[in-house]
Amino acid sequence: MSLVSGAGAARTRRRGPAAGFARRGRRLLFYLPAVVVFVAAIVAWEVVVTALGLRTFVLPKPSAIVAALVANWSDPRFGLATSARATLVEAVGGLAIGTLAGVLVAFATSRWVTARGVLLPIAVAANAVPIVAFAPLMNNWFGVLSPLSKMMMAAVLVFFPVMANVTRGLVQVEPAALELMRSYGASEWTVVRKVRIPNALPYFFTALKLATTLSLIGAIVGEYFGGSSLVLGRIIVQSASALRFDVTWAAILLGAAAGIVLYLAVVGLERVFIPWHASVRSSEP
Amino acid sequence: MASQVEAPVVRLSDVEKVFTRGDEAATTALEAIDLDIRRGEFVSLIGPSGCGKSTLLRVIGDLIQPTRGEVVVNGKPASQARRERDYGMVFQAPVLMDWRTVQDNVRLPLEILGRPTAQRTARAREMLELVELGDFLEHYPYQLSGGMQQRVAIARALSFEPAILLMDEPFGALDEMTRERMNSEVLRIWERTGTTIVFVTHSIPEAVFLSSRVVVMSPRPGRITRVVEIDLPRPRNEDSRETPRYFQLVTEVREALRMRGDRPADDEAIGDVPSVDRTMAEGAVG
């Protein structure tokens, strides 16, 4: 019978310099529309604000925001670089704590029915409390000046989606795959290692992508409730009350940039760890 | 005499399986099943949907415990046979691990059995050559067609040389042409390896073409109604499907499927009859 009857042969990767150039070209073309739209939107923003003569406190021009970003990069009052770094550290710390806790609880709940009965209602209840309500508590428990209190805010937000998704990934395994492992006389731990964990990886990365954004929200909301003044949350509050909205926007821009950096880092990890998964396969031309 | 000396690979004695789920009424999936399978035999279990043929396969493989009766495999209880890795399983879906390459999928059982790495690699390669996928070692399952994926599953099942290969409608999801090609493939592998195969199907031509014996089952409760010896000469090939004896045997199995044990034939045994017709048939009988 023919060996090339399937799609496999056709999808074999071509290598070599010519293929490399073609690949890079396709990639540029793939991203071109997004770049064009982005640049056009910025230009339109600039033009509309200038044409309508909008005041800075309503909406500053993009050029004014960039100017504020440069001018206040290492300013003693609105130190944007120091603040962005501090906020990023809080977010990443919270991401790590929340993810670790979420994964641990997911393993416990998927392994033991009793753990599921005890932990799930608590997790759901904790998730139902608006995050803002936790901020004064966290400041009290972990120190208003300590970055740990902001990390814990981020961790609370991160915990639930990670826990819920990883649990699902560990539990929703093809029944036939479990029958197969049973027919090999595999131990429960082997099933976890060879089937459940790999099966849960795509779910984990989906949660992690959500969690990057959530960790920044948690950190910045935590900062609103007091602590060090050189953090993005405080810069936003202080510059707004000083009517320096160009600085406010610059701080928001940095927050967004931090979010994008974290997100892309997760996408990179995804390509390394789950290259076989449909979400990774189809995201590239 | 020799056949009496050698004990059967599988011996089922008076096996019964009753499913009870919550408050629902109990369903008898299998009743009074007696069956011996000899070493190197190719036995097909055939019957309409819901006749318990897949359940019977899982009882043999110790994936389901019978409510009553005894399953002896290679002279041991089925549970011990499973722990000693006597079974290779192939399901209707290939059940490949998406995250493993073709080669690593075939190595999986060998990893679990703790075989040395060098042996795993050599064995996986050899098995993939056997199913003619030697050029696809580093591919991922998503890069293969359905038929190719099922061949990987067969290679995986054979990789650790199990005493018995249990196949649950392995080609049920494939188109007719691919299915016929896979049938020839399985026969070739069976002739080459001499493995005992128990094969669940609902295709009469498939069962007749492949088997040494076809076990015909009836539903509710699942029982064995007839065992048809398939005496088509071997080796069989595509031409075997056009011999008069083949058609005779297909007819014989089809007629056996129409019978319901010792009751008169009615259309219910075919399985796919619309309910109106069934009501009429029952009315005519009762």
* B34-93 pLDDT tens trace: 999 999 999 999 998 888 899 999 999 999 999 999 999 988 999 999 998 889 999 999
Question: Is A177 part of the contact surface with chain B (CB cutoff 8 Å)?
Answer: yes
Pairwise CB contact (< 8 Å): B148 & A5: yes
- Tokens coding B151: 């061949």
Residues 6+ apart with CB under 8 A from A35: none
- CB atoms A183 and B181 under 8 Å: no
Is B138's Cβ below 8 Å from some Cβ in A?
no
For residues B183 and B206, the answer to whether their CB atoms sit within 8 Å is yes
What is the least distance, in Å, from the CA of B53 to any CA of chain A? 16
On whether any CB of chain A is under 8 Å from the CB of B163, the answer is: no
Type of residue found at B250: V
CB B195 within 8 A of CB B165: yes
Cβ pair B99:A3 closer than 8 A: no
Interface contacts A/B by beta carbons within 8 Å:
78
Distance (Å, whole) CA B168 – CA A174: 16
Distance from B198 to chain A by nearest Cα, in Å? 15
Residues of B in contact with A12 (CB under 8 A): 139
Nearest CA in chain A to B110: A184
What is the pLDDT confidence band of residue B138, given thresholds at 50, 70 and 90?
Answer: very high
Is residue B32 less than 8 Å (CB to CB) from chain A?
no
A207–chain B nearest CA distance, Å? 19
Chain A contact for B148 (CB, 8 A cutoff): yes
Rounded Cα distance, A184 and B110, in Å: 9
Q: How far apart are CA A121 and CA A114, in angstroms?
A: 12
Place of tokens 């044409």: A51
Pairwise CA distance, residues B209 & B180, whole Å: 9
pTM of the model: 0.80
Query: Is the Cβ of A279 closer than 8 Å to some Cβ of chain B?
Result: no
Is the Cβ pair B99, A1 closer than 8 Å?
no
Nearest residue in B to A194, CA atom: B108
One digit per residue, the tens of pLDDT, for chain A of length 285 reads 344 444 444 444 445 566 777 777 888 888 888 999 999 999 999 999 999 988 888 889 999 999 999 999 988 888 999 999 999 999 999 999 999 999 999 999 888 878 888 888 888 888 888 888 888 999 999 998 999 999 999 999 999 999 999 999 999 999 999 999 999 989 999 999 999 999 999 999 999 999 999 999 999 999 998 888 899 999 999 999 999 999 999 999 999 999 999 999 999 999 999 888 887 775 544
In terms of Cα–Cα distance, which of B179, B247, B175 is closest to B208? B247
A6 with B147: Cβ contact below 8 A:
yes
Q: Output phi, psi for A123, to 5 deg.
A: -65, -45
**Cβ of residue A282 closer than 8 Å to a chain B Cβ:** no
CA gap B66, B16 in Å, rounded = 6
Q: Is the pLDDT of residue B281 over 50?
A: no
Cβ contact B99–A276 (<8 Å): yes
Cβ pair B63:A179 closer than 8 A: yes
Residue B83 touches partner A, C-beta closer than 8 Å: yes
Between residues B3 and A22, which one has the greater pLDDT?
A: A22
Give yes or no for residue B286 having a pLDDT over 50. no
CB-nearest partner of B109 from A184, A198, A201: A184
**Nearest CB partner across the interface for A183, out of B87, B136, B139:** B87
Residue of chain A minimizing CA distance to B136: A8
N residues, chain B: 286
Task: Answer yes or no: is pLDDT of B166 > 70.
Answer: yes
Amino acid at A15: R
The beta-carbon neighbor of A186 closest among B91, B112, B145 is: B112
Residue A191 at interface with chain B, using a CB cutoff of 8 Å: no
Contacts of A132 (CB under 8 A, 6+ apart): A221
Chain A partners within 8 Å of B142 (Cβ): 276, 278, 281
Optimal mutation site among A180, A192, A197, interface B, most CBs of chain B within 10 A: A180
Q: Is B133 on the interface with A (CB under 8 A)?
A: yes
Residue of B76, B97, B102 to mutate when probing chain A, most A C-beta within 10 A: B97
Q: Across the interface, do A184 and B113 touch by the CB < 8 Å criterion?
A: yes
Nearest Cα to Cα of residue A95 among A49, A48, A157: A157
For residue B205, what are its two tokens?
A: 């031509």
Q: Which residue, chain included where needed, has tokens 């789950």? A: A274
